[in-house]
Chains A and B, each alone.
Chain A
Amino acid sequence: MEAGKGSADLEQEVLSQGLCTSCGACVNICPYIKVVRDKVAVIEPCGLTEGKCYDFCPRTPTDIAALDKSVFGKTRTDYSLGPYIFIEMAQARDSEVRCRAQYGGVVSALIKYALDTGEISNAVLTRPFDGVMMPASVLVAESSQSLECAGSNYISSATLAKMNEATKQGNDSLGLVGIPCQVLALRKMQAAKHETGAKGVKLVIGLFCTWALSYKGFSEFLKGKVDLSQVRRIDIPPPPANIMMVETAAGDIRLSLDEVRKFIKPACGVCYDMTSEFADISVGMVEGIGDWNTLIVRTPAGKRFIDKAKKAGVINTRLLEKTRLEHLRGASSIKKKRAVDAIQKRTNDKKNLLYLRLSAQEKKKFL
């Protein structure tokens, strides 16, 4: 946390540098910062020199070790995957859930279960195909609604803006599903000296993420190829396919991943986190096994909840083979190295890592 910085600094260091992830942490906490689609802007300078907006942002200085301590009570030993208690493969037992989900349906099943059992009163989720290509952040109270939020369309929405709206209305028992930048910002909010409703988020499920696409660029690109309102599912099959599959009511189309990559948000290039390292539970794909997920249980709260869900038969789990685990570690490390390289390229200074404050060990591993 850096003292004495506010929205003007946020604008200068993050927004104008193309580093905004549009996570929404700075939105709906003041009247000056707004988000539309995946675009965030300071509409009018508020005139204050210090602001929560700056402190909450996942792209302002972030001390990884300090955040580890605040979330996990200790610093990490696994520098590739972050702190965790155990890692398994998992699958939703409900086949309907699995059928609608991107992979193994674990996230949808867990959220449904958390809502049904009163573990959380509401969940902040993302509905991927909201009539247009832009996903919508939604506050869900009924477990039946959570299934509408299964799947991904590779565009991120301002989930934390929705969370801020929800906590402002007094919600203090929330679940949240987010991508790494959103989870990071949420943890920064919870650790901040400021009074925020973020402490009301009790269950954080983080998704694996390699990058997100910019709404404007990608939807314009796609508009020329398919009727956007007909898109039902988007997926990237494992390498070496190098394609993006877009499934529509009128049939599937295959896009070259090289074409699609042109629309990756510049903010993703400097992202150091693939597996949502600060979540209670992280969930992602298992390369090559379409109907299972990788499940990383990180916090004691996450473990308690997963144990309960297993006992209740909500998910099946099995061992993640060592080779797969190493593969995951490798992928995460590559993302970290790429991020550090990209940052050094931006700053033109080996020591200036912009927002990243890394421990000596981490520096040794990734610099």
Chain B
Amino acid sequence: MGTLELNQPGKTVLMMGDEAIARGAIEAGVDFCASYPGTPATEVPESLARVAERFNIYAEWSTNEIVAFEAATAASLAGLRALVAMKQNGVNVCADFLMTVNLAGTNGGLVLVAGDDPSAISSSNEQDSRNYARYADLPLLEPADFQEAKDMTKWAFEVSEKLGLPCILRSVTRLSHSRGNVKLGELPEKKRTAKFEGVYISGAFVAAQHAALHLKLEQVREDFEASQFNFYVGSKKAKFVIATCGSGWLYSREAVAALGLEGKVGILKIGTTWPLPEKFIIDHLKNVTEILVVEEVDPFLEQNIKILLAEQAKTLGPVEVYGAKSGHLPAYGELNQDKVAQALVSIKGLKTRARDEKYVEKAKELALAFIPPRMPTFCTGCPHRASLWAIKSALKLDGRDGFVTGDIGCYSIGAGPAGYFQLKTIHCMGGGIGLANGFGKLEQFAFNQPVIAVCGDSTFYHAAIPALINARVHNSNVLMVVLDNGGTAMTGFQPHPGSGFDALGRPAPTVEIENICRGIGVEVRIRDPFEISQAVQDLYDMLQEDGPRVMVFRRRCFRIEAKEKLQKKYYVDQAKCIGDDCGCARFCSRVFNCPGIIWDQEAQKAKIDEVVCTGCGVCATLCPGGAIVVRGAAS
């Protein structure tokens, strides 16, 4: 039995941040979970799906975030407790619904987990989703450690239910994806049944609803004042205080300890960051003359505290505030204890240092001695490598300076050497085909470059269909290439509407990409990118046509394929590979550049790295010498 199901209140277990959030939801008796996968929030719904049957939870991977949020809201309106989790970009997708559900209100506890990804470790943007709480007048909680991740989630349902509003819980990658101790709470007996009653309309008496929303926020502020998630550590007499929230808490504590400043610097840790517990904060700032605000990413807490200080100027007197605006901490990228310590050293003019100044450089140098430098690349056997080679070939053969608008998925790294630098634009999900729509209508301005929009299968369902309809209706000259690898591969191969199974792994109906295209009325062809010559020829032919067209490059993600069935073993026939005498100029290891092919310095020939090769065989079709062959095949 996993820790999620463990019914041992008081027992301390090791949990990933996302699992702790899921456990908090289970302890709150969550009934319904709908989500679209996205780093770093993916493991919250994944964890809930894992125990869905045990706790009678309905769990689904929705087509996109707004659908997920709307579905979860429906459960709330029927009196159930519901959770929806997403990465920062997903919150943008939800924004339209978010800005109306705040006015219309909810019933059962509804928690929106926003997983932010500072430094964009696995994202196309860096964004601070906390701004949505202030924007939409919704309560916001920020867990600072693993225990809080669980406890706050549980409490978030109560906050939501009491106010009749969704409650936003904001995590960040370091919290979601690392592990820490969590003391388990009780597992509840669930008895809820769903029943819809009442009226939930945004737009009937909007101004009045908006005023009521503000009152609700004032009401929750009262509760926040007494929250256990807001506390102060350090000397009561400290004149210098770090105000922090979320991941900043642990960084601050470590930095203060490392510099030996425990007696001089207090830490005011806020868990309920919107609306602010104003009285609580004022109480702790009475003797303070300097504040350093530590938070990821935007100066959200910083600005709100500054407003509070301005309002309380008479009582609190002049207070110096350090943080992003003062330049002591960045308003971008991840923080760490060094950055916080450096800010303290700089502000306080300290001679002591938390670490050797060159620590980071030295650590990097040391690490690089053991880790070979590597560019981000596609896995061995990845169909995207073949697809992008086919796209590159077709565009070059076409010769009209065609280009590719990119989208969000594994294939995004096709903008770099892994995909032969083919993607020239990347924005949000669906952005590629949307842009291509516009490029495809520039004919009257002497524009004659062909445009290919690449789009993953999951992205197709998520965000590409309206743009494709638009292309059809306006007869835009765009060739859309759907890179269909059978699932939402980038986040761990969660199912999508074309996968044929659901979040619990049970068989599910499929909605075929080609049927959608045909329904829209665009020509669609389906090809296997591993049959690369045919793929190039068809793509070339389609490039010669006008209007919207769709090519589906269909080939299952090879990481999944290789797990499911035994693959062929390839090797380089050392007699046939003639090395640099070939004239291919090391095409396989240098240009096609699959990590499964290496250059054997000793033999001066190509070699297959059998440990990583997945046996897709594409290199064998490209080798001019026919030197890459299947083990066991007659030569």
Contact = CB atoms under 8 A, between A and B. Distances in A.
A41 B397 contact: yes
A47 interface: yes
B394 A31 contact: no
Given A30-B584, A46-B585, A36 B392 contact: no
A231 B622 CA distance: 35
Contacts of A36: 393-394, 397, 536-537, 540-541
A31 B397 CA distance: 14
B624 A29 contact: yes
Interface string B314-332: 0000000000000000000
Given A29-B624, A30-B624, A36-B394, A46 B584 contact: yes
Contact of B584 (A31, A34, A39, A40): A31
Contacts of A220: 544
B237 interface: no
B14 interface: no
Interface string B419-458: 0100000000000000000000000000000000000000
Contacts of A44: 392, 396, 420, 591
Contacts of A168: 626
Contacts of B537: 36-37
Contact of A43 (B392, B544, B626): B392
Q: By CB atoms of chain B within 10 A, which of A30, A43, A47, A168 has the most? A: A43
Interface in A24-62: 28-32, 34-37, 39-44, 46-48, 51-52
Given A32-B587, A44-B591, A47-B585, A39 B540 contact: yes
Contacts of B541: 36-37
Contacts of A216: 544
Given A46-B585, A48-B583, A34 B393 contact: yes
B623 interface: yes
B254 interface: no
B624 A43 contact: no
Interface in B575-630: 583-585, 587, 591-592, 622-624, 626
Nearest to A164: B624
Nearest to B581: A195
Task: Give the most central of A31, A46, A47, A51: most B CB within 10 Å.
Answer: A31
B536 A34 contact: yes
B623 A31 contact: yes
B278 interface: no
A50 B579 CA distance: 16
Contacts of B397: 34-36, 39-41, 43
Contacts of B420: 44
Contacts of B393: 34, 36, 41, 43
B399 A39 contact: yes
A48 B540 contact: no
Contacts of A28: 624
Contacts of B591: 31-32, 44, 46
Interface in A10-35: 28-32, 34-35
B19 to A, nearest CB: 45
Interface in B312-368: none
B225 interface: no
Contacts of A30: 583-584, 587, 624
A52 B584 CA distance: 11
Contact of A48 (B536, B585, B624): B585
B80 to A, nearest CB: 56
B624 A31 contact: yes
Interface string A181-204: 000000000000000000000000
Contacts of B585: 32, 46-48
Contacts of A29: 583, 624
B262 interface: no
B398 interface: yes
A31 B587 contact: yes
Contacts of B399: 39, 41
Contacts of A32: 584-585, 587, 591
Interface in B530-571: 536-537, 540-541, 544
Nearest to B583: A30
A51 B624 CA distance: 14
A41 B584 contact: no
B618 to A, nearest CB: 12
A32 B397 CA distance: 11
Nearest to A169: B626
A31 B587 CA distance: 7
A51 B396 contact: no
Given A31-B587, A44-B420, A48-B585, A39 B392 contact: no
Nearest to A51: B583
Contacts of A31: 584, 587, 591-592, 622-624
Nearest to A42: B396
B131 to A, nearest CB: 44
A28 B585 CA distance: 15
A220 B392 CA distance: 24
A300 to B, nearest CB: 33
Nearest to B537: A36
B396 A43 contact: yes
B511 to A, nearest CB: 32
B398 A39 contact: yes
Nearest to A29: B624
A52 B587 CA distance: 16
A30 B581 CA distance: 12
Interface string B367-382: 0000000000000000
A40 B583 CA distance: 19
B583 A52 contact: yes
10 contacts: A30-B583, A31-B624, A32-B585, A32-B587, A32-B591, A34-B393, A36-B393, A46-B583, A52-B583, A216-B544
Interface of B: 392-394, 396-399, 420, 536-537, 540-541, 544, 583-585, 587, 591-592, 622-624, 626
Given A32-B587, A39-B399, A42-B396, 11 more contacts: A30-B583, A34-B536, A35-B397, A39-B397, A39-B398, A41-B393, A43-B393, A43-B397, A44-B396, A44-B420, A216-B544
Q: Top 3 nearest A-B pairs by Cβ distance?
A: A36-B540, A31-B587, A41-B397
